[in-house]
Amino acid sequence: MRMIQTTSSKGLAEESLPYKLYQKAKKLGVWNPADLDFTQDVKDWETFNEEQKEQILKLISQFQGGEEAVTRDLLPLMMVIAKEGRLEEEMFLTTFLFEEAKHTEFFRIVLNALGENGDLTRYHSDTYNTIFNEILPASMERLEKDHSPEAIAEASTVYNMFVEGVLAETGYFGFYQSLEETGKMPSLLKGIGYLKRDESRHIAYGTFLLQRLISEHPHIFDIVAKKMEQLAPLAIKLNQEGKTEDNPFGKEDGFKQTMNFTMRQLSVRMEILARAKSKKIDEIYKQQMKDFDIV
């Protein structure tokens, strides 16, 4: 018979990072996409030329598909963590799934406001589909039968380190590159800011999870490093597919800046995880949020 943790002497690990992330999510993760007013965004949209619309639509459509994918694919990880009896982590993961669903809603609201209700899958390249319709679901669905540390590590590497920590972060960079300096589409950027804040907690949890696995099973680091090496060329190729001769918003060296940002994200993720090899498990649980890039 399983133990009911919260009525035992164990209680809740209130000083653990997952529990602190749960508390943070309760305070900051409750924004409502339906409350955003896109009146000015629609006016701004009507002033864009076709190249500008094309760039923003591509970003939105890739985020829309990506948010749907991560919403659909998270559940197997939640179930594994729950079965392991890691209650504080499970509590945080309930906010994680809720927020991913809300991000899916947000981009659909944006598209509806802009009157873009057609098929946008033309913006989903073969590389994009390989990541979101093959690699991501395969790594997460593996957890339905394989609960090994190796399987969990691979799933978190794909989901948290690569899709969220590299691709989504690069996407936010793209939105700000295009719109922030022009002062256009304020509610879209406001929502992106909320998303980025939510995702910083998600990435922090994924980092914690992989640090825990590496501390418990040191060989996991090599598995994670190898997986990131396999995934990195896909991030580069995705950037190259989005390259245009001239930035329609007038940003000089936009492609170069985006590529540099992507490469920096790939490097940072591995540097943070490498430190876990020398940390004890208690140190990992007791890390402070200031140790992570949490917005």
For residues 204-227, give the mean pLDDT.
94
Supply the DSSP string of 102-133, one letter for each residue. HHHHHHHHHHHHTT--S--GGG--HHHHHIII
Residue 252 has pLDDT above 60, yes or no: no
Average confidence (pLDDT) over 21-39: 95
The answer to whether residue 250 scores a pLDDT higher than 70 is no
Q: Encode pLDDT of 31-67 as tens digits.
A: 999 999 999 999 999 999 999 999 999 999 999 999 9
- Using one digit for the tens of pLDDT, what is the confidence trace for 81-125? 999 999 999 999 999 999 999 999 999 999 999 999 999 999 999
The yes-or-no verdict on residue 196 having pLDDT over 90 is: yes
pLDDT above 60: residue 245: no
Look at residue 11 and tell me whether its pLDDT is greater than 90.
Answer: no
Contact 64, 107 (CB under 8 A): yes
The first and second tokens of residue 99, run together, are 């927020």
CATH assignment, 18-24+34-278: 1.10.620.20
Whole-number pLDDT of residue 262? 81
What's the mean pLDDT in 194-212?
95
* pLDDT tens-digit map of 124-153: 999 999 999 999 999 999 999 999 999 999
Q: pLDDT: is 264 or 244 the higher one?
A: 264
Kindly state the average pLDDT of the residues 236-264: 74
d(CA 210, CA 48): 43
Residue 175 CA to residue 155 CA, distance in Å, equals 27
With b meaning 16 or more CB within 10 Å and e meaning fewer, what string describes 16-36? Answer: bbbbbbbebbeebbebebeeb
pLDDT at 286: 85
Distance CA 166, CA 154 (A): 15
Spell out the residues 6+ positions from residue 134 whose beta carbon is closer than 8 angstroms to its own: none
Q: Report the pLDDT averaged over residues 64-88.
A: 97
How many angstroms separate the CA atoms of 161 and 184, rounded?
Answer: 30
